[in-house]
Each structure stands twice: as C-alpha cells, then as structure tokens.
Structure 1
C-alpha cells in the first residue's frame, strides 16, 4: 500500500443508524477520521506528540461530503483516505466503499491548516516533518 493511501475495513454498528435504519449522515465523518488518523499513523506521524513537541495544531478548515448510497446495519465497508496535498494545507480525499458489491457509498474531502499555539497563528506552510512522509 502506498504511503499516501490508507484503507481500513469497518462494520456498521447499530448505534450509527438513524430512525430509518441507515447510517446517519454525520457518522461518515467519523469513518473518514478513522482512515485519516490511520494514514497519519501509517506515515509515522502522531499529531498529539507533534503538538506537544512543536505547539502546532492541524484543525479541520473545510469539509465536503457527497452521499451516494446508504449503508445499513451490519454491512462491512472500506474507509479510504488519500492525501492529495500537504504543502500549504493538508488535503485528503475519502471514500466509503461497501464491501460486498464495491459500491461507493460516499465521497468526501477534508482540509487541515497548520496553527501555531498559543498565539493561534495561521501558518501558510505545513511543517517539513509532516510533508515529507507523504512525499510533499
């Protein structure tokens, strides 16, 4: 697997459903985040330790999601994160793929910026220690 792509297999739990018995739309962000942090971990990046050492945070500045097909209770799926940019901001694309028929259920994109604490200063470059493991 490439260092800029991470996939994890998950199964829809009952508590992620809405009243019509499909995955509630907000839970897709949780699935995206599981893949997001798996991608960072795969690259050897612990964002919490990085913050403790450097005082840099990487808040989400923008998200978008396209819902295509519904996931239901017990269905297995792949949550995939792909890093597409890490110079000025970190940009990741996401896909939720139902396992049994390979249908793409949702697509998303998330953007993160670098912020220096405690000044809350927006940085216009992602630190080298974060960029390099992803090839940027």
Structure 2
C-alpha cells in the first residue's frame, strides 16, 4: 500500500472565533496530502493531464473526531487503498505533538478520458506503471 505523510500548521485565516478550524478547510488539507502522495509517484495533476486523463473526485467522506486548532501542528497520513477501477485514498489526521488521531477521511476519484470526457471503468495502464504494479 502506497502512503505519504505531510505536516501542516493550522493558520489563523482557517479558524473561527473559538480558534477552531472551520470544517470546510479540512478538504483543503486533504487535497494538500493527496497531491503530495501523487507527486511521490510522479503522477501529479499535470502528469495526469499530459497522459490524457483527468481524475475528478466523485466521493468524499470526513469523520470529525477532534477539532483542529489555531497553530496546531498536524500530520496527515495519506494512503492509496484502491487503484484497480478507481482511486481511493484514505487519510488520517494526527496531532504532531501527542500523536492523537483527530480525523479520518477518504476520497474516491475515477479516471476520465480528457479527450472525449468518458469515464473509464478500469484505471488506465499509466497508473499501474507509476505504481510499479500490474493490471
């Protein structure tokens, strides 16, 4: 299973008057982790497009267990858990200092042919090549 971890600090502009990160900003944090994971296999958005595919997110699930607070340093562990027919990435957010789990989430993406806009029912070979896997 491919995984990648990043660390972020919760900025002031993402929090409310109680110094808690607004729930909508979590999607941004997941996106940063997802991009870092895909960059680690050299299959970022530019590379996807260059090879003729776009990968829209079609599903997002977030389980908010503990709030993220202003200036809190967090670690986000992104794991690619499915890739044969769709790209499913799971995320776990931890407090960097204590290691406490704060949030769990996942996203699902599908490959779409950039030229004709048709969704593929199996991931394209380029993804398997980037993963060093066989289809």
User: What TM-score do you get using the length of structure 1 for normalisation?
Assistant: 0.90
Q: Which structure 1 residue ranges, 4+ long, deviate > 6 Å from structure 2? A: none
Cα deviation, residue 118, structure 1: 3.6
* 1:4 equivalent in alignment to 2:2: yes
How much is the aligned-residue C-alpha RMSD, in angstroms?
A: 1.5
After TM superposition, the score normalised by the length of structure 2 is 0.91
Give the count of matched residue pairs: 133
Which residues of structure 1 form unaligned runs of 5+?
Answer: none
Deviation readout 1:91-113 (Å, 9 max, x if unpaired): 00001101111111110010000
Q: CA deviation at 1:10?
A: 0.8
Aligned-partner Cα distance in 1 for 2:90–2:122: 19
Segments of 5+ residues of structure 2 without an aligned counterpart are: none
**1:101 is aligned to 2:134:** no
